[in-house]
Structure 1
């Protein structure tokens, strides 16, 4: 595994755990969207036409759609930032179609950088929530079942 790939994986896992633990409903929905997208990307990573990874492009397009849906439903700035980065990911996929001389390494590197920026935007949303004094969803829930009389 390449060093940046390991960094990307560990950053993602750590961010997802912290955001799920301390985030609100929009942040948890963002984590769920990212986890589903990662899982589906692993399943379709071998679907290619030349250097275009069209399986991953379809997953990224669905991820962009999911974040646009989330942006319409929630009033968080970080979701718009993630939508912008996901749009740029789609531009990277489009460039692979428009300029066939490019190799897959440049495409993957661009998408890793944009993915890292999107994950950091999610983390920034959690930081803003913490600075605003909003309670996490997990803080409102009881972890033990109460006995009924």
Structure 2
């Protein structure tokens, strides 16, 4: 595993764990969207069209649509920033799609650019959690009941 891949994976796991435990409903929905897209990209990775990563681009399109939906439904700034970075990812896909002769070097540059944008998207989610903490908002996990409440005898 390349050092940047390891950094990307560790950063993702840390931000997802912190967002799940210290975030609100929007941050938890964001974590679910990120994880679903991550798993779906592994399943659709073999789907290619003349060396164009069609499966990954379809997953990224659905991912951006989910982030835009989340941004329009919630009042958090990080959702708009993550959706904007997702749009940049789609531009990268489009540029690779219209490239007439895809060489291995161009494919590596495409993947590297999308990884960099992915790091920025994850940092947006982390920034949303930090902003929530700085504003003094309680995380959802603080109000969660972790045990079943016994019924009262009347």
Shorter-chain TM-score above 0.5: yes
Q: Report how many aligned residue pairs link the two structures.
A: 149
Structure 1 segments unaligned to the other structure (5+ residues):
none
**Equivalent of 2:119, from 91, 94, 116?**
116
Partner in structure 2 of residue 31 of structure 1:
31
Shift of 1:22: 0.5
Partner in structure 2 of residue 16 of structure 1:
16
Shift of 1:49: 1.6
> How does 1:1-149 map onto structure 2 within 5 Å?
1-102=1-102, 103-149=106-152
Shift of 1:146: 1.5
Alignment partners' CA distance in 1, 2:110 and 2:51: 9
Larger radius of gyration: 2
Shift of 1:101: 3.8
Q: Normalization by structure 1: what TM-score?
A: 0.97
| SS of aligned partner of 2:21 | helix
| SS of aligned partner of 1:47 | coil
Alignment partners' CA distance in 2, 1:46 and 1:68: 26
Q: Over aligned residues, Cα RMSD in angstroms?
A: 0.9
Structure 2 segments unaligned to the other structure (5+ residues):
none
Q: Normalization by structure 2: what TM-score?
A: 0.94
Deviates more, 1:35-44 or 1:91-100: 91-100
Alignment partners' CA distance in 2, 1:100 and 1:21: 46
